[in-house]
Each structure stands twice: as structure tokens, then as C-alpha cells.
Amino acid sequence: MYDSPKYASRAGIPLTLNGAQITVNAPADWRLSKALRDALHLEGTKIGCDAGDCGACTVLIDGEASCACLVALGQVAGREIVTIEGLGQRKTAARLQQSFLRHGAAQCGICTPGMLVAATALLERKAAPSETEVQDALGGVLCRCTGYRKIVAAVLDATAEKQAAKLPDSGAAVGARIERLDGQRKVKGEDVFGADAHPRDALLLRVIRSPYHHAAFAFGDLAAYQRAHPGIARILTAADIPGENCFGVIPPFADQPVFAATHARFKGEAVAAVVGDKDEIEALDLKTFPITWTELPAHLTLDTALAATDLVHEARAGNILVRGRVVKGDAEAALAGADHVVEGIFETGFVEHAYIEPEAGFARRVGERLEIHACTQAPFMDRDDLAKIMGLKPEAIRIVPTAVGGGFGSKLDLSVQPYLALAAWLTGKPVRLVYSRTESIATTTKRHPGRMRVKVGADRHGKLVAMDFEGDFNTGAYASWGPTVANRVPVHASGPYFLPHYRALTRAVHTHVVPAGAFRGFGVPQATIAQEQLYDMLADKAGIDRLDFRLINALGPDQPTVTGQVLGPGTGIRACFEALKPHWARARAEAGKANAVPSLTRRGVGVAGMWYGCGNTSLPNPSTMRLGLKPDGRLALHQGAVDIGQGSNSVITQICADALGAPIARFDLLSADTDQTPDCGKTSASRQTFVSGKAAELAGRALRARILRLANAGEDAKLDFGDGHITVRDGAAAHRIDLGPLPCDQHGYVVMAEETFDPPTAPLDADGQGVPYAVYGFGAHLVELAVDTELGTVKLRKITAAHDVGRAINPTLVEGQIEGGIAQGIGLALMEEFHPGRGENLHDYLIPTIGDVPAIESILIEDPAPIGPFGAKGIGEQALIPTAPAILNAIADATGVRLTRVPATPDRIRAAILESRK
């Protein structure tokens, strides 16, 4: 199994791999990571950066953790290599794997192999390490999902053998901390991500991209280039696209070409591709591709784009893609009459999603159909957009999402898919494309930089009277989710408070930079940075405790939101703030005591609240779930909500199991595949637990009703699932249904239910009044930190997070979302900023490491949403939103200075402190 015949002619390199002595037939100068994956087909070792920046490829070399991307195969001749595939045979490592599952330490699973290998190196040297030793050992492996806390806990708890918890019985799944149902393959490194498990004969595709922010171009002699490089099977350009050379996640705004036709609008935009034999395509120096560039003036910032007379898109006047607006009452007049008014301008930067899995996949033509296997958050949207590009019917395209190594919004947009589809269709051969880290950062969407001018007023009792909000968002060269950001922000910029008068206006502005799109919160995190800092300032001005100020103004169930919606039961923001009260008192007292001693280090405590509407804004947003009972008594759940690590595979099954009244162990899961699962929409907007979960609940209840009908049993009857039969127990009566003799439908099920849920919303009028969302999630974070006032550095001490999730279907997974959201909020607040065209790697673009996330205490509030499945609401985006403003409020509490621009890097904090002393 270890020999790849392709390289058999080259000298073999002997080594010990996972206990077996083998000879590897691959070039000695290959990176070990490449040799493991491409020559030995051991794809558990992941490649996240090829530069030692992420640690995903960590293996043991003679017992020492090493990045396999930084070692040549020839250097390990005669050495002992251990990869994730070999951990199961080692006692310590096997315990670690089980501990990771128990603690929910693996989310998407892409960093998990590297984490497990690095932790094994530690535990095999030191059986009972300290938390600091765990952090030192794992500091070289980045994780973007978990926030690291559960990983630390899992390593500390891996010292003894522990039994895995049994899966819950019928009716006990909701609320249970079950191990994620797809977890085993993640901790074994067996999950198949976009770059894994492709046909061995696949051609390789590489994309030619613009080196300029804005440039015209003309191709040279492409035919001659191809002749000079016989390995090239095909060169692809805009001229090869059979359908429309245009895509976009919001069809009315679709504007992005697969290949730019005459000029590129951002650095990294695709203009052509080469497809062919893997080795030859890899060896091509793309700088020699025949193309002539003429650089053109570029608008990179809001100011230059707004002032420009030349347009990024001719049809979009003023470089404005779209405007958003929510107006209630008369904000201007109310502010004029307010007792206390504060205002400020707040700025945020580009933020990169920095999932550890760069985009990847393969496509193949199957007769007159196309199959695309790639990482994605939105299989049906991909299908429909690709159909347009390819000039095919949607049914002619099958999207099979691979495991997704983190998405956070960016994998909602097409990335590798159009190139793969086109190449596979035209060559008739399977084609593969794996983005490099640089390509991923340079070309996929970002969080919108925002500039917000905000004014808020309160009366003398501290009651909010009005907010006036204006926000501009740099949406980059193409629309992507710019309209969503422009529309979500005005709906949310009040925060979860009652505001009688309100005006929020936004603009999404085109520039010549990589498109900004969806990133966990669609602009709401940016707006919250402004809103929650101003509320602190207003509380101080009114002389009211900052937490009390929020309690005074917290939106009640009977009060209308800024869009005029009365949310009713499930308005859990007050409960979140109440839950923080004892922590607030303790933290304030501790910080006060510490600050009483003169020191250059000042302690601070900050709080911030949030709300976030689940699902699309005033647009249809259905999910459909199919549940079938097989003749053998097992249940097939066609669960099309893509699990990008957040846990929908588990949560939706838990909901469905209890709705039906069956044990989880009875379920066989069919995950997203447009040929196999009905449309569950996209994994975004914190909608899968709520919307797809509700569809699963409905499907479970419908199947239950059908089974009960077969037995003429009452609603309270209990179902006992056996092999090939069900026993329905209704009071003392027991009715056995033998499934074997029952007729099967076209799916092979004896009983089947398929149900759809579309959350009830209503359109917003010209003033943004209406019912944008059926359900909102609420939360509040409390941050304790210390600022080194001389260096401007921040040391986070603890974050306490209270979230109203309606019902925690799986508390471990909910905590995982909270901790992961907090880690991204820390990055947003303190270190993350992408500079277009620069630093497209993970050592210039910094995300938090295991040493940057403090202890987190999650408080789960369960104020049920009557419409949610078992009362559940979303949590994915909610978790990130309040972290950054709470950090900034704590910095202000510690130092007296307001950071109006994020990230609050040490230089900016120090500059603000110096400025305040002038």
C-alpha cells in the first residue's frame, strides 16, 4: 500500500512509518507532508500553509513533533515517523483521541490530527502536564473553530482510561452532551476534506491570477505556450465558459466572472487556468504564462472609492453597491432633546476567515452530468450557480460536499468549483484543484471593513432615547454578500435594547480589493463594536453602572425592536445580563483591588450585549428534511445541512430522534449531497439548528404519526425499534409491526416523512419596518483583562459568556460554538487585520493561538423560542459578536482610553494612552 508505482523508478527511501518498515518511492526533495499524502496516500496529515505557520501537518520524527511541510523526505531516511494514522496503536494517543471526543475538542477536524500528534509528543514525555506545558506543546498548531479551551481540557483529561458515555435512550437526546456523531473519523484523521481522496488519475488545475489590484490584460500566444508545455491538457479562459461568465450568492447582484475577460478588478482575480498532468502542472512557473498586464489606477479604501469618478462597475454609480436603511421615529429630534449624548467614529479592518483548510476539491464528468466534490457551506446554491456558468440544468450537477475544514461564511461563495466544473466538463477527465494558503487568503472573501459614525442619546434616568447610525462598508470588487451586510447592520445596530427613535443608514462600497462577503455575523460584529462602546460612554455620562445601564434598556418581550417587531416569549437578553451580575460584581471588586496598588499594569472589566436574527433577512429560507424507516428497522436521516464543524450532524439528529421517539443509535446519517439530501439551505446566519433542526423535528413527528397510524396507537405511545420490527406500546397494549413485509417506496423506505420549515418573516418596508427574522438569539460577554500601559499589550484573564440559546440541544457543542466565537472575537479585537495584497500567509496575518485564549465560563440561558425545535435558537454567530466590544470596554475601563479602531494592537493602544496624556 505504501508504494506509488508512478515514482517506483526512483530510488526508494527506507523509514519506519507508524511501526512498519517501508521504502518510499518518491523524490527525496519532496516535503515529507507531500510524500505522505501523494506517494503514500496517507491523507490524515493535513496541509494548511506549507510554511510551518499552522502545524496541521505535525508528525513525530523520532518522537519529536515536527511540521512535515518543513522536512524533506530524504531527511527522514532511517527515521521513525508517526502520523495520525499510527496514533491508535499507541496507548496514550488512543486515550487522547477518546478524550477529544468526550470534551468536544474536535470541531471541523482539520487541525485535529496535528493537535493529537503534538499532544502525543507531550504526553509520552510527561504523563501529567500542567496547563502551561500543554499550551507550550500545542502552541504551534492553529485551530480556528474551538477556541482551544476544550483541547486543553481534553489533553489534561487524557491521563486515564475513561468509558465513552452511552448514547441516550429514546426521548433523552435533546439536552444530552453526546459525542459528535461524526467525531470518530475526525480524531482518527479519516475525515475526507477537500484536498483528500480524489481520483488517482485526476488532472491538476492551477489558476493564473492578476498581480495587480486593477489591470487590463491581453493574452499572448496561448497555443504556443501549450505546445511548449506538452503536459498541459487545456488552457481555460473566459472564452471557454459555455454559460454565463458570472456568478454571485445573491442572484440579482451577481457580478463576479469566473475568469476576468479583459481586466481584473482585484489582486488575485482569476484570468485563466492550466489543466494537465499533475507533475508537469506543478512544475510550471506560472510567471511565464503569456499575458501582458497594463496596471490601472486602483481604489483600495472607502475614501478613494467614494470620491472617485471612475467606477469599479459601470452600472453602480458612486461605487455604491447597495444602501441599507432602518428608520423609526425621529432620531434627530430625539437626540436634540436627550439629556446625555455621546458619539464616535469607529473603524474595523479586513478580517480573514483563516480556516485551516484552504479551499480544495475535484470534479468529474459523469456522462452528461457533472459531479463536484469540494468543501462548501452551500451545496444547492453552488449547484444552481454552476448550472448557470456551465449552461446546464441544475439537475445535471451534483454537489457532494467534502468535510469542511472551517468555513465561517467564506465557503458560502464559490471558490474552486467553477474552475473544476469547467475543466472536468471540457477535458472529460477528473480534475483537482487545491488552493495554496496564499491563494486562499488572496482570493476568497473577507469580513467587511466598516467605518461607522454613531450618535446615541439617553434621558437623565439612563433610558435610551435615540440612535443615529451611519455605516460604510468596503465590499471589495464584487457583490458577494455585501447587500446582506448592508441590510443586516441597520436592523441590528441598536443592539438588544429598546430604542424609541432610530435611524441607521448603510452603504456597501466597491473598491479594487478582494470581495468582502460573509463572515460570522454579516457586519453585526462591526456595528456592535461601535454600539456597545458608546453605551458604556453613555452610562458613564449618566453616572449609571455599565451593566445596570444595559439592564435598564434591555429589550423586553413586549417592546418593539427598531423594525417594529414585538418578539414576545424568548426575548432572553435580560436573563443574559442578570446572569452576569455576580460575575460583574466579583470582577469589578478584584480589578479595583488590584488597581489600588500603583502599577504599570492596569486591570479592567468590560461587558457587552448582542442580538442576532437567525436565518435570512425577510427572505424565504426553507430547509427540508427526509426521514425514512428501512425494512431492517434502521432510520435514514437525509440531513442536508452541511456540518462545517459546528455540529449540525449531531444536533439535528438529536432533535429528530426525540421528535420521533427513537434512540440515536438507530439512525444512519446521510450527509449533504444534492443527489441524496433535500435542500437544507446554506450553513450560515445561525440557521441550521433553528431552521433545519425544525425541519428535522417536523419530519420526526410526521414519521412518528405515520408509524402510530400503522398501529392505531395514541400520540403518547412508545416506540421500540427492533431489527426488522417496531413494537408500539400504548399503555398496556403492545403492537408489533413487522417491517419486512411492508412495501418500500422509491427510496427503499417502508415509512417515510419529508418536511419543510420556512421561518415566518415579513418584508421590510422602505423604512426597514417589518419582521426580518422569526427568532433572535441573545447574549452578553464579560471580559476581565490587564493592560501593560507602557507596552500597550493586553493580557486576557477570563471571559464569561451568557447566551440565550432557547434550548441547548447539545450543551457541549453549544459551548464549543461560544468558545470558538470568542476566540475569533479576540482576534477581531486585538490582532487580526488583512492588508490587501500583502501578508497573504499565517505569520503576517495573526489569529489567536492556544496561548491567547483565556479561561472561558459559558452560562447557557434557555428561554425557549416557541417556534424553534424544542425551543432552540442559533448560536454560531451570536457567540462572536459581543467579544470584541467587551474587550474594548475592558481596555477603556483599565486605561481610560477608547480604542475606536480595531484591531487594538499594542502600538494602537500605546498611542492612545500617550495621546490621552497630552
The residue to which cell 406500546 is assigned = 729
Which DSSP helix (H) or strand (E) runs through 152? helix 149-156
Q: In the bound complex, what is the minimum distance in angstroms from residue 842's beta carbon to another protein? A: 8
Q: Output 715 or 915, the one with its CB closest to another protein.
A: 915
**Contact assessment for residue 792 and residue 906, using Cβ atoms and an 8 Å cutoff:** yes
Pick between residue 28 and residue 744 the one whose CB is nearest to another protein.
28
Q: Which residue, 237, 225, 232, 219, is CA-closest to 282? A: 232
For 589, phi then psi, to 5°, come to -65, -45
Cβ proximity to another protein: between 782 and 904 the closer is 904
Three-class DSSP category at 265: coil
Q: Which is nearer to another protein, 353 or 666 (CB)?
A: 353
**To the nearest whole angstrom, how small is the minimum distance from the Cβ of residue 452 to another protein?**
23
Least distance (Å) from another protein to the CB of residue 315? 35
Using the minimum distance from each CB to another protein, give the nearer residue, 286 or 733. Answer: 286
Task: Please identify, using beta-carbon distances, which residue of 254 and 791 lies nearer to another protein.
Answer: 791
Neighbours of 882 (CB within 10 A): 37
CB closer to another protein, 462 vs 825 = 825
Q: How far is the CB of 195 from another protein (least distance, A)?
A: 14
Q: Which is nearer to another protein, 87 or 642 (CB)?
A: 87
* Beta-bridge partners for 19: none
DSSP string, 49-108: -SSSSS-TTEEEETTEEEEGGGSBGGGGTT-EEE-GGGGGGSHHHHHHHHHHHHHT--SS
DSSP letter for each residue of 550-615: HHHHBPPTTSB-TTS-B--TT--HHHHHHHHHHHHHHHHHHHHHHHHS--SEEEEEEEEEEEEE-S
| Nearest distance from C-beta of residue 820 to another protein, angstroms | 17
Of 56 and 894, which has the nearer Cβ to another protein? 56
Cell numbers for 424? 472536468
Cβ-count burial of 330 within 10 angstroms (0-12 exposed, 13-18 middle, 19+ buried)? Answer: middle
Q: Which of 516, 178, 148 has its CA nearest to residue 351?
A: 516
> How does DSSP classify residue 901?
B
The CA distances from residue 440 to 310, 358, 443, 573, 710, in Å, are: 29, 6, 6, 37, 53
- CA-to-CA separations, 717 to 497, 702, 711, in angstroms, rounded: 44, 14, 10
- The nearest distance, CB 39 to another protein, in angstroms, is 14
Residue closest to 201 by CA, chosen among 428, 536, 358: 428
Distance of CA 227 to the CA centre of its chain: 43
State in angstroms the smallest separation of the CB of 284 from another protein.
9
Count Cβ atoms below 10 Å from residue 492 Cβ, excluding itself.
31
Closer residue to another protein, CB minimum distance, 393 or 795: 795
**Are 648 and 639 a contacting pair, CB within 8 Å?**
yes
- Based on CB atoms, which residue is closest to another protein, 632 or 790? 790
Q: CB 203 → another protein: shortest distance, Å?
A: 17
Cβ closest to another protein, residue 135 vs residue 487: 135
Residue numbers of the site for another protein (CB under 8 A)? Answer: 27-29, 31, 50-53, 55, 58, 61, 64-67, 69-72, 74-75, 77, 118, 121, 135-137, 139-142, 282-283, 285, 436, 438, 790-793, 830-831, 833, 835, 838-839, 843-844, 846, 848-852, 905-907, 910-911, 914
Instruction: Identify which of residues 851 and 866 has a Cβ nearer to another protein in the complex.
Output: 851
Element (H, E) at 886: helix 883-895
Task: Return d(Cα 157, Cα 745) in angstroms, integer.
Answer: 48
> Is the CB of 23 or the CB of 262 nearer to another protein?
23
Residue closer to another protein (CB basis): 249 or 823? 823
In terms of C-beta density within 10 A (0-12 exposed, 13-18 middle, 19 or more buried), how is residue 415 classed? buried
Q: Work out how close the CB of 74 gets to another protein at its nearest, in angstroms, rounded to a whole number.
A: 5
Per-residue exposure over 336-375, b if at least 16 CB sit within 10 Å of its own CB, e if not: eebebbbeeebbbbbbbbbbbbbbbbbbbbeeeebbbbbb
Tell me if residue 323 falls in helix, strand or coil.
strand
What minimum distance in Å lies between the beta carbon of 70 and another protein? Answer: 4
Compute the least distance from the CB of residue 381 to another protein, in Å.
Answer: 30
Q: Based on CB atoms, which residue is closest to another protein, 227 or 835?
A: 835
Q: Tell me the three-class secondary structure of 826-847, residue by residue.
A: HHHHHCCCECCCCCCCCCCCCC
CA 676 to chain centre: 24
Nearer to another protein, 148 or 497 (CB): 148
Give the residue from 268, 219, 348 showing the smallest Cα distance to 256: 268
Task: Report which residue type is found at 76.
Answer: V
Neighbours of 838 (CB within 10 A): 11
**What whole-number distance in Å separates Cα of residue 178 and Cα of residue 642?**
19
Alpha-carbon distance of 207 to 218, in angstroms, equals 16
Smallest distance from another protein to CB 84, Å: 15
CB of 566 to another protein, least distance (A): 44
Q: What Å distances lie between residue 755 and 13, 516, 626, 674, 694, CA to CA?
A: 56, 35, 7, 17, 9
Find, among 266, 902, 874, 901, the residue nearest to 611 by Cα. 874
Task: For the CB of residue 904, give the shortest distance to another protein in the complex, in Å.
Answer: 11
